[in-house]
Structure 1
């Protein structure tokens, strides 16, 4: 995003309100609705959800990190990926009037444990 856009977000001065607070709520809500959005995705009872943001001034980026904990026999990676994606789309929606050149990129699973397919940790 543009440096000015990141400044508006950091200062809480967006016309639509607190961008990161709204994006956090959107991401958490998306985690809870993942099974309704993605065909054949299991309903996961999430017992712990965090949605955090890192503002990276040197690259004019916002890193969104969603962590989902659950009990049961399935992983929650789809829920975490959905949470990140919806949070980033919310940031775009709230700031598009000042910066239509924003990009969403590099959405990826970094780590998971449990579930049928077992544990995973991205290298690098």
Structure 2
């Protein structure tokens, strides 16, 4: 089992020292989703939601969140991002609801990974969709949100089965 590194000798939280870690190319892909009603699906896909283009706003919000991850997750290092991409696709459910699938890819070249940035971006993208559509229906369900894949770093690559 891996040792937890975010605690000092007194058992208190600390930011891990990454200065001795090698700089490598790193990528992370995170996934989230939000289940919406048929009415919301129609309004989003026809771009007729009163607040504007839901997916365009959500995409920008996700990118902004990716860039600000270290500001909201206490032990995350601020890292330079080389690229962030957020993509969407739809699935129709049997109960006449729709699931918006959200995939976020974040890339950097540095001393630490971009998993938290990708996960934050995917989460905030889904939250933004909720915010922009809640006037129509507050029954939307967000999640699950999870890491799909990561490359680079001391612990090597990870790919969810």
Q: State the TM-score bracket (shorter-chain normalisation).
A: over 0.9
Residue 8 of structure 1 aligns with which residue?
43
Residues 48-90 of structure 1, C-alpha deviation per residue, up to 9 Å, x if partnerless?
Answer: 1101111223450101110001001211010000000000000
Flag the structure with more relative contact order, 1 or 2, with Cα contacts below 8 A and sequence separation at least 6. 2
Between 1:111-120 and 1:17-26, the stretch displaced more is 111-120
Aligned residues: 123
Under a length normalisation based on structure 1, what TM-score does the superposition of the two structures give? 0.95
Query: 1:74, 1:116 within 8 Å by CA — same for their partners in 2?
Result: no
Deviation at 1:111, TM superposition (A): 0.2
Q: Larger radius of gyration, structure 1 or 2?
A: 2
Relative to its length, the structure with more helix (as a share) is 1
Q: Provide the secondary structure at the position in 2 that maps to 1:42.
A: coil
Equivalent of 1:28, from 59, 63, 69?
63
What TM-score do the two structures reach when normalised by structure 2? Answer: 0.74
Give yes or no for the alignment of 1:89 onto 2:124: no
Instruction: Say whether the 8 Å CA contact 1:52–1:66 is kept in structure 2.
Output: yes
- RMSD in angstroms over aligned alpha carbons? 1.0
Moved more, 7-16 or 49-58: 49-58
Gaps spanning 5+ residues in structure 1: where?
none
Corresponding position of 1:39 = 74
* In 1: Cα distance, 2:115 partner to 2:154 partner: 12
Partner of 1:102: 140
| Structure 2 unaligned residues grouped into runs of 5+ | 1-35
Partner Cα separation in structure 1 for residue 78 and residue 155 of structure 2:
17
